[in-house]
Each structure stands twice: as C-alpha cells, then as structure tokens.
Amino acid sequence: MPSTGPDHHVRAFLLSFLHMQRLYFLLFFLITTIAAQAQGLPGYVITPAGDSVLGWVAEKPHGRIHLYSSAGGGVQTFQASQVKAYGLLKQPAIRSRVVRMASGSDSVCFVLPNQVGRVSSYSFANETGLLLQPATTDTLYQLTAFNWHLLFTRYLTECSTLFSSDTELLDTRFTFSNTEQIIQRYNRCFNTGTPHIRSDENSPWRHGLGFRLGAQRLMLQNTLSKQFLGLDMQADGAGWSQLIGFEWTAVRANGLQVNLSGSYAHWSITTGNYLPQPVSSQPTIELEQQTEAHFLHLSAAVGKRLGRPSRPHFYVVGALGSGYLLQATSTQRQRPAGSSLPFQRLGTSSAKGSPDPSFGTTHIGAEAGWIVPLDIRHELRLAATYQKYIFFNMQAVGAQVAYTWFRK
C-alpha cells in the first residue's frame, strides 16, 4: 500500500525539485552552447601582411575575434596581437595597438579613436576605458583616476595657455568629458585644426531601420470600481491588441542588440458578465463592458543574438515601454439576469491623454524568437512576446514579425 504520510510528500517534493533542476541544467547547457557561437556581423580581418579576409566577424571576450570566412572552412580565432585590424562591412577598421596598462605591463588591444591630433585619445573596442597617445610615441597609455594627472603633466607640455593655474589640473575631476576637453585645448594650442572626433563611421555598431507588426492576447484582472485607462472597469476582462510601428536597431559583433521603437496600438477588451453593485439578493440585470483604446507606444529593448551568423538564429531581449492614450471608449451593456438574450447598450464613457492613464500603460516585457537573414543587409524577426503592465494588473502574450534594413 503506497505511503501517504509526511515522508511521502517530502520525497515527492524532492523528486519534483530534482526534475526541475535537470530541466534548468539542460536549458542552461543549450543556451551556453549556442552562445559559444555568438552572432557575428559581415566584416573583415586585416592580416599582418596587409591582406583583407572577408567573412563574418564575431567579437569574443578578452579581445578575441572569431572569423567565419566567406571562402568557407572552420572558424578562425585571432588575438589582437595576431592581426592588424578588423572591421564591419564598409566601415573603418578597428585597429590593434600596443597599450601600456595602468599596471605597467604592455598589452596589444583593439581600440577605437575618440579624437586624433597632436595628442590623441582612444577607447578599448568595447567602448570602455580611456587611452592617451602622446605626440612622441605610438604607445597608448591607459588613463585612470590615479595616474591621469601624472601622464597629462608629463606629455601635455609646451602649451603655456593650457592651464590657468598650477592647481587647475589637480582640481579637475577624472571624467571622460573633462579629459577630452583638455586634450582638445592642448591640440588647439598648436594650430592643428579641429581634432577628428569619432562619428558613426568609426562606430563598432551596425545600424538598421525597419517596421514591425504584432498581435497580443490581453488578460486584465480587476477589482470593483478600479480605474482602467481613466475609466471605471467593473470586472475582469480579456481581449486583443494589434500594433504597427517603426523601429531603429543597433547590433554589435558580440551579439548585443538594442532596439528603439514607436508604434500605434489598438486594444479591444470585453469583461465577463457581472452584477451591479451592491449585489441584491435577487438581481434583475447583469452587465458587461467593452473598452476600445488607441495608443502611441514608445519602447526600448536590449538583448542578445545567439547562434551562427548568416543562418537563422535565436535572439532574446528585455524591454521597457509606455504609451500615450489617444482615445479610450467604454460601452456598458445590460440584459436580464441569467438570460441568454443579447446585451443592450446602457451607456458610454470616454477618456484620453491625461497623465494618469498614459503613465499607467508603462510595462516591462520580453521577446524571444528567430532572426531569418534574407541577404547581407535585410532580415526578418519572428518572435513571441510577453508584457506585464506595472500600474494595473494586466498581462499580454502574443506574436510579432519585424523587418530590418541595415544601412551597411
């Protein structure tokens, strides 16, 4: 006879827990295996001999580069010390340079120019850090809050107007903006013209424009007399939303993806049948409510592309968004309690763009799906979506299709 005591329930819980742990481990293994082949972008690598090898370039941790050559074959892995540069399609190269690290050791790293002049400044290829190239050497020096005063005093010389007093440099905080301004002032002292400032042409990002279409199932859980979009919503509801919009997409060769989008959305929500409040012992009517709403939505999303480049591959992003309520109309209908007769219109109320209902549409969300390359500059995204609204109890699940055209 099977046990039904406390030990049986403990064993059942432990078995269930172990099964879940195995499932989580399997999902983690699959995701990390795919991530090991992180999404690349069309680009090139420049060899020490000066030859350009075309293919798909993927940025990896610790300054490594993976190249999936257009000529075929397996993936090639390069350190910054093994190549002159790499770059994205039709964009300037991200070059390898010798960097004197703050620890005193030398390291070869990929770097991006911030400004170029008699004295130049750079950042690491992952857009972190600040590096100084003095006029007298090709070596770059890593700047930190502890050494930048010393390095500027040593290398930014022969400009009597750079600092108004002996203590000005010491009184200046170490920030990206402050150091860049000092280097600009120094270069102007020698009439070298306006320093070259890095623009989109030097960016490690690939930019694209596109549009998206989507539909979602809306599920609203409400309490009596609670405000929803500035309207009284008397019961739980469900319905559908449709959206159409435009978006800007930026992608890095390490798989990082950023989206900014603006869209128009239409909601249609109908409640279940409910009784008027307060409920009498013998209600004579029952009610239902239908709400139609129109929005302008703005959202931002950040996530990761996973999988081999140039093939259909997986991606996932997290999002934050909000909307401006253009118009919402709620229609209340009634019929005899317990009847199967059609509902008859009772009354209508409306609301629009006031701060409270607009703020109430703020939501967090997630999106996961597949990216299908059409060619080197065009792609489709097919995804499942989820949204959780922060200021009222509503969730949405649905599907979305998006098209992106990349400039380069």
Q: Does the pLDDT value for residue 343 go beyond 80?
A: no
Rounded Cα distance between 82 and 86, Å, is: 11
* Contact status, residue 41 vs residue 309, Cβ threshold 8 Å: yes
Q: Does the pLDDT value for residue 367 go beyond 60?
A: yes
Q: Is the peptide bond before 278 cis (omega within 30 degrees of 0)?
A: yes
pLDDT tens digits along 184-198: 888 888 875 666 666
What was the pLDDT predicted at 355? Answer: 46
pLDDT tens digits along 240-299: 999 999 999 999 988 899 999 999 999 998 877 666 665 566 667 777 788 888 989 999
pLDDT tens digits along 289-325: 888 889 899 999 999 998 877 789 999 999 999 888 8
DSSP string, 198-242: P-GGG-SEEEEEEEEEEEEEEEE---TTEEETTEEE-S-EEEEEE
Percent of the chain with pLDDT over 90: 43
What was the pLDDT predicted at 358? Answer: 45
Confidence of residue 364 (pLDDT cuts 50, 70, 90): very high
List CB contacts of 159: < 8 A, sequence separation 6 or more.
Answer: 185, 186, 189, 190
List CB contacts of 375: < 8 A, sequence separation 6 or more.
Answer: none
CA 237 to chain centre: 31
Q: Does the pLDDT value for residue 161 go beyond 90?
A: no
Q: Which domains does the chain have, with CATH numbers?
A: 38-89 (2.30.30.100), 92-202 (no CATH), 205-406 (2.40.160.20)
How many CB atoms neighbour CB 133 within 10 A?
23
